[in-house]
Structure 1
Amino acid sequence: MPTTEHTVTSGRRLAHPTAEEIRLETVLHALADPIRLTIVRELADGHANMACIAFDLPVSKSTTTHHFKVLREAGVIRQHYEGTSRMSRLREDDLEARFPGLLAAVLEAARRSVAPSAPSA
């Protein structure tokens, strides 16, 4: 049975896979969704330890919660509570150690896909 790490703050426990438990297919599944990829891009762009409510996503609160849960359970993000806010940060070091270059490649591809195209000459 897998062991999971728990982040405990104010009596609230959030389960996270250990670095060794992070699986490639689970990470790729988590990153395949455009909403989750938006969350990861925003965290990667310098918004470490960002509260879930700070994300402006075009989905309901319950759907947003689901997307964060998928990312957390895949090992893409780590979450903890600060007061009543659930804070999120990318597990960049764990992902890089487990799958070198994967996160950087996915983020670069995502940035290119949303960047405006140069006009044709």
Structure 2
Amino acid sequence: MQTLSHPTREQIRFESVLDALAHPVRLRVVRRLADGEELTCGTTLPDVPKSAASHHWRILRESGVLHARREGRTILHTLRREDLDARFPGLLEVVRNAVDADV
């Protein structure tokens, strides 16, 4: 089974995070993660084709926005809030408020 790679805290780049947050589907995922949810690949994005959903999860993981871990055949995703707050203080709240304003 393929290992899921994540950048270290120090490797998280501002431009990669902004790029990851630039898509409405990924913003929707981050909003749910910011509420403390732990999300799975298969059930979180039912309206998105599986290949596109995998792409969105990979972008979020490789940018350092979320952490993915395997439990059997399921991949669980959580927000890397502590790492993002340490690298970019206040960014998650700005994103969350912007998403809330659009809802």
Tell me the TM-score normalised to structure 1 length.
0.81
Gaps of 5+ in 1: 1-10, 115-121
How many residue pairs match? The answer is 103
Hey, what does 2:11 align to over in structure 1?
Answer: 21
Q: 1:46 aligns with which of 32, 36, 50?
A: 36
Hey, what does 1:109 align to over in structure 2?
Answer: 98
Hey, what does 1:70 align to over in structure 2?
Answer: 59
Cα distance, 1:56 vs. partner? 3.4
Q: Which runs of 4+ in 1 moved over 2 A?
A: none
Query: For 1:68 and 1:51, how far apart are their aligned partners in 2?
Result: 10
Query: For 2:43 and 2:37, how far apart are their aligned partners in 1?
Result: 10
Contact 1:12 1:81 in 2 (8 A): no
Hey, what does 1:30 align to over in structure 2?
Answer: 20
The structure with the largest alpha-carbon Rg is 1
The structure that is helix-richer by fraction is 2
Are 1:96 and 2:96 an aligned pair? no
Cα distance, 1:46 vs. partner? 2.4
Query: For 1:77 and 1:46, how far apart are their aligned partners in 2?
Result: 12
Are 1:82 and 2:71 an aligned pair? yes
The higher-RCO structure (CA 8 Å, 6+ apart) is 2
Query: Is 13-22 or 57-66 further displaced after alignment?
Result: 57-66
Tell me the TM-score normalised to structure 2 length.
0.94
Gaps of 5+ in 2: none
